[in-house]
Amino acid sequence: MIGWGTSFSALTVLGTTIVRDLHMARETVFGGLSAMLVVSAVMGPRVGRIIDAKGARDLMLPGTLAGSIALLIVAAAQGPLSFLFGWLIFGLTVAMMLNNAAVPALVQIAGPNARRAVSAYTVVTGVTSAVFLPLTEWLANRYGWRMTMLIFSLMYIVICLPVLLSVLPHGRPERQSLDASKGGEVTWEGHSPPAVRRLMFWLVALWMAMQGVIAWGFNVQAVDILTGVGLTREAAIGVWMFSGPSQAVARLGDMASGGRSSVLRLAMLSAAVTPLGFVIALFFGVSTITATVLAICFGVGQGLYAVARSLLPLRLFGLRTYGATMGTLALPLNLVCAIAPLIFSTLIVNAGPTTAFWVAFAAGLVGVAALIILDRVAKSA
């Protein structure tokens, strides 16, 4: 929550203020997220291999320190070079501390119970935006954006570091503690047939990349996009807050179901819900009501995606190389996510916020198509 809340969510609220205060182009400010993701993408495969071999503790602890240092640099930035340098350092945190390290660490511990553990984990992270959007706005109004980033920096030392020191195990669990019963969704080698394994990998990567376009392109600038099409800033922030609880509710629903639906079906549902929200907003016009529906659809889609994104590669490619698989998937995903904020910033400035709606909608449709093809490949293999 703190990792994404102090970076992704924080810049959603503070971005326009930073543009004005540092006299930088909008593309440069949101390019900080791009710089962060490029570093994370490059490091992802190696981080994953280390986690498979040694566990996550040795990576997550220094990654936490890097997050604190990075936000200190951002808080003190006087121009584009220092601002972007801070986000480059935060890229180490994304790779070493956040999902691509934390989820494999959790899966290694949970083994056959990975689905329930990941669902519970995502329930907590699902309320990140609901916590950090209003918190960031309140802190910025009271203390300014620099002091807000300083406070966020201290969270890594005061909260994150002690928690990780207390809960992360030393080393990687042995295979026998990880292996699941035959036929289960969590197995050592995975369920993808060798003949179509590479094709299935790239279909999963395409689906994840399209979700990344929406999450990192549209979502991170949703407040400004909604303001641009007619909502007040207060209404836009209030509306988009619904996306956080909606994510949590969707994840709670999956956890309560006990994993009765297959992970692939869960992924297809997550991919289909988000475009539905865009259809309603585009064809009925953006109002407080339709924007709220969009936020809820986005939240439900992203909530289920967070579970499916962690578990679909686990089901298809297995526990043995799960860290490396997630790290390799993170490479194209994070590169796409790195470009998305720049693309959407450019669209907002040059083509208008409505165009941003259409691009996000198209990305959602491509993601749905990738999973439909994956389903057919899995059935025919």
**Structure tokens of 133?**
């959007």
Is the pLDDT confidence value at 85 over 70?
yes
Is the pLDDT confidence value at 320 over 80?
no
**Structure tokens of 274?**
């988000």
Q: What is the pLDDT of residue 188?
A: 66
The DSSP output letter for 156 is I
- Reported confidence tier of residue 274, pLDDT bands at 50, 70, 90: very high
Average pLDDT for residues 221-233, to the nearest whole number? 87
Q: What is the pLDDT of residue 181?
A: 44
Distance CA 195, CA 169 (A): 36
Reference 209, options 101, 109, 336; nearest CA is 336
CATH at residue 184: 1.20.1250.20
The boundaries of the domain holding residue 178 are 2-380
Amino acid at 248: A
Left if phi > 0, otherwise alpha if psi is -120 to 50, otherwise beta: which for 55? left
Average pLDDT for residues 61-86, to the nearest whole number? 95
Distance CA 324, CA 45 (A): 6
Q: What is the pLDDT of residue 187?
A: 66
Cα–Cα distances in angstroms (integers) from residue 175 to residues 3, 108, 109, 113, 182, in the given order: 30, 9, 11, 14, 14
Is the pLDDT confidence value at 231 over 60?
yes
282-294 per-position pLDDT tens digit: 889 889 999 999 9
Which of these ranges, 121-125, 214-218, 367-371, 374-378, has the smallest mean pLDDT? Answer: 121-125
Q: What is the pLDDT of residue 182?
A: 45
Q: What is the pLDDT of residue 307?
A: 87
- Answer yes or no: are the C-beta atoms of 240 and 223 closer than 8 Å: yes
Is the pLDDT confidence value at 183 over 50?
no
- Answer yes or no: are the C-beta atoms of 95 and 44 closer than 8 Å: yes
- Answer yes or no: are the C-beta atoms of 151 and 272 closer than 8 Å: no
Reference 61, options 162, 155, 152, 149; nearest CA is 162
Distance CA 316, CA 190 (A): 5
Cα-only R_g, the chain: 20
Number of domains in the chain: 1
Distance CA 338, CA 347 (A): 15
Predicted structure pTM score: 0.79
Compute the mean pLDDT over every residue in the chain, rounded to the nearest whole number: 87
Beta-carbon contacts of residue 219 (< 8 Å; ≥ 6 apart):
12, 243, 298, 302
Using the structure block, give the residue that is written with the tokens 């570091």. Answer: 161
